[in-house]
Amino acid sequence: MTIFKSKTLEGYIGRSLAAIGLLIAVLVFLLVKDDNWNNWTLALFITVTLVLYSIFAVRFKQRLMNTLDRALLHIEAVKVEDYSQYAKSDFEQGLSHDVHSALKSLSNHLQNQKSRYDQHAFLLYQLIDQLNTPMMVFNNKLKLTYANAAFSLLYNEPWQMYRQASPKLLGLVQDKGEWQLTRQQQKWQISQSEFIDSGEAHLLLVFTNIDSAVRASQLNAWQQIIRVMSHEIRNSLTPVSSLAESLSSRVKGEREQQALAMISERCHHLQDFVSRYSSLSQKLNLNQEFIKVSSITQKLQVLNPNVEFDLQIEIEEFWADKTFLEQVLINLCKNAVEANADKLIIQFNQNKSDYQINIIDNGHGFANPDNLFVPLFSTKPEGQGIGLSFCRNIIEQHNGQIDIFNNPPEINRGKGVSVEISLPKRIH
């Protein structure tokens, strides 16, 4: 019947109760009309009956609606991830009780899932903090909400200075679904992924320095070559050296003894050569501390008495391994002197995230600067091609960076070489 049709449950219940009330009134009228009741008594009786029924109908509807309202409030609490609010049914058994029990079970299930998501997000943020590669987290409105300390490698400032910044402000653009960094000269590859935190989707961007990855790949290739060479050379040199020493005690001619001594000496030299190159593949055990700049500069001046030093010092100390860092600076000054430099400008300063060490000489520079850090490559007649590779290995194991290039025309009229070293500040 169309009288019972309604777009809402409330309307359906109201119309149904009204129809039942009308039916009761008709039945009461039919039952009592033959009992000779006068019209006023009949009207009063029917009115009282309808009032009582109306009170019952209103309470019936209200109780039913209250049960549904409680379920609705429970659902609203679930929507805002408030799983501590439970709707209690008015009935201990039956369909209403089953509905509220199911909602409570759903809340407990979602609470457990949320706890797991929160734990995963917490572990993710801990992992982000531990990694040395820049990582950024954006919320669902693409506003920066978190980053790790390596963020300063990109912007030379802590990430908190850019909190709630948009990708556009950070120089990030998205092209065909891929993120790119436009404001940096270094080549960075950006990987992206999403995760859920506090019920919202977050975007995670991970930055990988392609130059460092290429260098690491090159170094790994050279290390494999060196290991193979070391194995083959040592296997060949050991019996030759042993045989030469054995024959030296048997021969009596001076010329033969000199020849065998030369063979033995060259074998030891090659073995030492191989051992030195093997150091390129070793992981350094750094003992970092605050180093006084004055102690470094005094040692460099003592070791190079014939060089004019122009010291430009803006910091008193910096954070590094003293032994290894001293060796790097000694090697770089030695290279400058061997390139006929008689003046060195050494600068010690800092920015918000790094210590900066610059060395500028007035030597003859490099004829082939593209291969400076390639192991086994050297432009010196007696060079072994290990010095600069070892220097870069030390700096990069400090999580720093070293760049070497011939001076442009505005510096020393294009004469000499500039070395730029950056070392990260100590993270407290």
pLDDT at 155: 83
Both tokens of 173, joined, read: 């653009």
The domain locations on the chain are 2-109, 126-211, 213-281, 288-424
pLDDT at 344: 93
Q: Report the alpha-carbon distance of residue 60 to residue 17 in Å, rounded.
A: 9
Superfamily of domain 288-424: Histidine kinase-like ATPase, C-terminal domain (3.30.565.10)
- Closest alpha carbon to 356 in 318, 311, 316: 318
pLDDT at 381: 44
Backbone φ, ψ for residue 187 (5° rounding) = -90, 120
Q: Report the alpha-carbon distance of residue 190 to residue 188 in Å, rounded.
A: 6
Q: Report the alpha-carbon distance of residue 118 to residue 199 in Å, rounded.
A: 9
Q: Report the alpha-carbon distance of residue 400 to residue 424 in Å, rounded.
A: 6
Q: Does domain 126-211 correspond to CATH entry 3.30.450.20?
A: yes
Both tokens of 426, joined, read: 């100590």
DSSP string, 277-334: HHGGGPPP---EEEEEHHHHHHHHHHH-TTSEEEEEE--SEEEEEHHHHHHHHHHHHH
Could you tell me the sign of the dihedral formed by the alpha carbons of 55, 61, 67, 69, in that order? negative
DSSP collapsed to 3 states, 330-384 = HHHHHHHHHCCCCEEEEEEEECCCEEEEEEEECCCCCCCHHHCCCCCCCCCCCCC
Q: Report the alpha-carbon distance of residue 380 to residue 382 in Å, rounded.
A: 5
Does the global pTM surpass 0.85?
no
Q: Report the alpha-carbon distance of residue 140 to residue 194 in Å, rounded.
A: 10
Q: Are 401 and 395 spatial neighbours (Cβ–Cβ below 8 Å)?
A: yes
Strand pairing class (200-209; 188-197): antiparallel
CA angle 71, 77, 81 (to 5 degrees): 140
pLDDT at 327: 84
Q: Report the alpha-carbon distance of residue 165 to residue 295 in Å, rounded.
A: 43
Q: Report the alpha-carbon distance of residue 142 to residue 379 in Å, rounded.
A: 51
Q: Are 180 and 189 spatial neighbours (Cβ–Cβ below 8 Å)?
A: no
Both tokens of 321, joined, read: 């391994």
Both tokens of 31, joined, read: 């039952």
pLDDT at 138: 94
Count CB-CB contacts under 10 A for residue 259.
15
Q: Report the alpha-carbon distance of residue 4 to residue 15 in Å, rounded.
A: 6
pLDDT at 189: 83
pLDDT at 186: 60
Could you tell me the sign of the dihedral formed by the alpha carbons of 400, 405, 408, 413, in that order? positive
- How confident is the prediction along the chain (428 residues), in pLDDT tens digits per residue? 555 566 666 677 777 777 777 777 777 777 666 666 677 776 777 788 778 878 888 888 787 778 778 778 777 777 777 767 777 777 777 777 777 778 777 777 777 777 666 676 677 788 788 888 899 999 989 999 999 988 887 887 889 999 999 999 998 988 888 888 886 556 788 888 888 777 788 899 998 877 666 666 666 666 666 666 666 666 777 777 777 777 777 777 777 777 777 777 767 766 666 665 565 556 667 888 999 999 999 989 988 989 999 999 999 999 998 888 888 898 899 888 988 899 999 999 998 778 999 999 998 887 766 655 655 444 544 444 456 777 888 888 888 888 888 888 888 777 888 999 999 887 54
Q: Report the alpha-carbon distance of residue 153 to residue 372 in Å, rounded.
A: 24
Count CB-CB contacts under 10 A for residue 80.
9
Q: Are 342 and 308 spatial neighbours (Cβ–Cβ below 8 Å)?
A: yes
**Please, which residues bridge with residue 146 across strands?**
137
φ/ψ region of 153 (left if φ > 0, alpha if ψ in -120 to 50, else beta) reads alpha
The label of the residue with tokens 């030379």 reads 156
